[in-house]
Every structure is written in C-alpha cells, then in structure tokens.
Amino acid sequence: MRIARLFLALTASLWFAAPLAHAQAPAWPRQPVTLVVPFPAGGPTDAMARALAQKLGERLGQTVVVDNKGGAGGAIAAEAVARAAPDGYTLFFGTTGTLAINPSLYSKLRYDPVKDFAPVSLMATTMNVLVVHPDVPARNLGDLVKLAKARPASLTYGSAGNGSSNHLSGELFRTSAGIQVNHIPYKGSAPALVDLLGGRITMMFDTIAQQTQNIAAGKVRALAVTGPRRSPLLPDVPTAQEAGLKDFDVTIWFGVLAPAATPAPVVERLSREIATVMSSDDMKKRMQADGAEARPTTPAEFAALIKHDMAKWGPVVKASGATLD
C-alpha cells in the first residue's frame, strides 16, 4: 500500500512538473543570430544577405548580424558554419557555388553540403546573360553558334575565374552547342568586363544587374539569358532554350542553412519567417531590381535542389578541367 501511494505521489509530481518545465523553457531566439556570408562585404551576395537579415531580424525579434567570411570560393565560411553549435544562432547564406559546385571543384573540401547542413529555405534565384562585343557579327544565339563552328577555337569568353558561375555557364554553352571556344579566366568579373568592352574578348556570361546599363547603352549586345524564363529586366532577350539550346539552364540561387542537428522547431520557424519575408511586395520588388526572383521553399524542397544541382554541375566541372585546391 505504501509503495502504491509513493508511486502515485511521484507520478503526480512529474505530471505537474512537466508543464512547469515547458513553461520555463526559454523560447528561441533569446539572443542575436549570426548569418555567415561566404563572400566579402559589398558584393551582390552580401547585399542580398543584408536585405534578408534586416527583415528576418524584425520577424524574429532579435538582430540578425551578417558576418562576412570570404575566401576559398566560400569554403571557409561553409566549413565554419558546419562546425558551429547546432543551436540556431549560427546560419549560413549558401549559394550554388558553395553547395553545388565546390564539391566537384575542390578535391579536399572540408565540409559536406548534404551531411553537414540542415537546409532552411531558398531565398532567391537569379541568372546570367550572354553578352558579346558589338563588333561580333552575331545578332542572336544561333548566329553565334554558327560563327563558333565556322571559326573553331577562335572565339573567347571571359569569366571571374575558374569555377565561377560565368565560367561554368560558358562551359555548359560549349558542350550544349558542340562548339570550341576559349576560356579566359580573370581575377573577378570587373577586369573581364573591361576587356569585353574593349573588344579584347568575344563574349561573357555575366549577371543581368551588372549588364543592363551596358546593354541599354549599346556597349554590349545581349543574345540570351541563362534561366528557364525571360528576365523582367530584359523582356526582349530570349532564353538560351528559346534560342535553340534544349535543357540549357544556369539558375544561380541563394538560401539559408543551419548546421546539421539543429532542432527541427528552429528550422521550421526560420523557414516560415523567411517565406513571409520573401513573399512581401517590397522584397519581391527589391529582388527584381537586382535581376533576381524571390523564391522561398520548404526545407525539403531546398535539400532536393542542392542534391539535384550537385549532380548537374559535377560533369560540367569535370569537362572544364577546373580544379581549385
């Protein structure tokens, strides 16, 4: 009888203690959240991250601090977040390059894009535009392909360096069109653009936001955009698919991830808040002004995209022969 009463008393105490403990459990977030950006301050990736950080902080009721960790194509930042405590206070602003391209570009990558992260949500997508110097006798993409086949290995395209999105856009173009063109890597997009404007290289795949003014001024000629749909900033420029390159798609994306093992409620809360932020009219307009499209997703959708693009870009990187170690 004593044992039975003791058991009942213990059960009752645990029953009353459970909701009390739950009520006292501190809600997330209790302190500022850090969003690690894999490139230096001032660039387009940094600008997107800061736009998100400001609005996300308002939703969370805590400051979201942007921490720029450039170097090694974003690998330094990615590794830092992969090793961070999975408590929701350190997040990664991932890109196509850091998560889908780097695994094929670096033979000794010290993070696993799939195993080391918990995808939260895609933020936005953008695309490149293929531009040529005005003296190039090609009015459309079909003309350019014919010119390249008539002059094998004589046309050149510039990029921000081996493994960059504009380099791999060029490689995918080369293999999709079955042509021979020469890649000229530069230390950044700016010097490549200088040589394009000067007529020292034939063409370049570059971000739409970087090229709209040059296109409007007639300094370069736009032949195609690389995404699956036309850009609102360049409505008269066809997609590469429309111009005859079946299945050609270079979509560049940006999204938020947490370290693996971050509690599911935290990931789900972040995903919901990012979706709310990116669905607002002001963020949609801001993205469109930068040549991007707001594209929030569920964690599962973002995880599937990462795996899909890793498989897509692996063969392209291999065909290009590019390695960075």
- pLDDT band at 323, cuts 50/70/90? confident
Q: Is pLDDT of 191 > 90?
A: yes
pLDDT, residue 176, reads: 94
Looking at residue 23, its pLDDT comes to 40
The model's pLDDT over 66-99, given as tens digits with 9 standing for 90+, comes to: 999 999 889 999 999 999 999 999 999 999 999 9
Model confidence at 16: pLDDT above 80: no
- 89-125 pLDDT, tens digit per residue, is 999 999 999 999 999 999 889 999 999 999 999 999 9
49-60 pLDDT, tens digit per residue, is 999 999 999 999
- Rounded to 10°, the helix 189-197/208-216 angle is 20
- Kindly compute the dihedral angle of the four CA atoms of residues 268, 273, 275, 281, in this order, to the nearest 10 degrees: 170
Answer whether 128's CB lies under 8 Å from 165's CB. Answer: yes
Better pLDDT: 180 or 2:
180
Q: Say yes or no to pLDDT of 193 above 90.
A: yes
The pLDDT of residue 302 is above 90: yes
Whole-number pLDDT of residue 26: 55
Confidence of residue 10 (pLDDT cuts 50, 70, 90): very low
- Note the pTM of the prediction, 2 decimals: 0.87
* Segment 281-296 mean pLDDT: 94
Give the pLDDT of residue 125.
96
Residues 6+ apart with CB under 8 A from 258: 81, 86, 88, 90, 91, 92, 117, 118, 120, 266, 267, 270
Say whether pLDDT at 6 is over 70.
no
In sign, the C-alpha dihedral spanning 160, 162, 168, 172 is positive
Cα–Cα distance for residue pair 36/294, rounded to 1 Å: 20
The pLDDT value recorded for residue 24 is 41
Average predicted confidence (pLDDT) for the chain: 91
Kindly state the average pLDDT of the residues 250-275. Answer: 97
Element containing residue 207 per DSSP (H, E) = strand 203-207
Structural domains present in the chain? 33-126+251-320 (3.40.190.150), 127-225 (3.40.190.10)
Residue range 181-188: average pLDDT?
93
Task: List the structure tokens of 99.
Answer: 């998560």
Percentage of the chain modeled with pLDDT above 70 = 92
Q: Give the model confidence (pLDDT) of 206-238 as tens digits.
A: 999 889 999 999 999 999 999 999 999 999 999
**Cα(130)–Cα(211) distance, integer angstroms:** 10
Average pLDDT, integer, range 298-313: 97
Residue 4 has pLDDT above 60, yes or no: no
Length of the chain counted residue by residue: 325
Predicted confidence at residue 325, as pLDDT, reads 72
Confidence of residue 188 (pLDDT cuts 50, 70, 90): confident
Q: What is the pLDDT of residue 5?
A: 52
Per-residue pLDDT at 12 exceeds 70 = no
